[in-house]
Structure 1
Amino acid sequence: PGFGSMPMDNLVGFMAAELAVHVWDLARTAKVDERLDPALVKFTLATWKSLGEDVLRMPGMMGAAVKPAAGADAQTKMLNYLGRTV
C-alpha cells in the first residue's frame, strides 16, 4: 500500500478491506444495492482502525471522518469513519 512493510496476512486483510469500500463506492455510483455483508463491515472497520489515524488519514488514503447520524447502522458508521457521506 505504500506506507511500509507488513506481514502478508495483514496485507491481504488490508486489501480485502480496501476492496469492500470500493465495492460500496461502485454500487453507490451505479445506483444498485450497496448493502455489504455485516461480517465484512465489521472486518473492514477493524482492519482500517488497526492502521491508526496517522496512516489512515495520509494524503491519498481516506478523508476526514464524517459524524454519523443518530441511529446510523454499522455500515453507515464504517463508511462515515472512512470519510464517506452516506
Structure 2
Amino acid sequence: MIRIGDELRMWYLGVGDRDDKYRLCYAVSRDGVNWEKPALGLVSYGGNTQNNLVDFSDKEHSVEEAVVIYEPDDPNPDRRFKMVFESENYD
C-alpha cells in the first residue's frame, strides 16, 4: 500500500471464479477502510474489461508475489511506479 497525497493505493493478488490463476488487482481508498476498485479497462476477464485487473502481459505465468515501489523523484514520470514480482509458469 502506498500513500500519495490523500489517497491510498493498493496492489493485491486475486483469484477469479474461472480458474485458479492469480491476477494482479488495484484498489484506491481515502481512509484505508473503504476501498474502490476502479474499472481500469486494461484486461479482459470473462469477455469484460470493466474490472480492476492490472495488465500482466505474460499470459503463460501467474503472479505469485508482487511489491510495488513508488519513487516520486524519478525524472521520468512514467517510471515512478516500479514492481518486483515472482511468477510461476502456468502450463
TM-score, normalised to structure 1, is 0.27
- Greater fraction of residues in strand: 2
Flag the structure with more relative contact order, 1 or 2, with Cα contacts below 8 A and sequence separation at least 6: 1
- Greater fraction of residues in helix: 1
Structure showing greater radius of gyration is 2
TM-score, normalised to structure 2, is 0.26
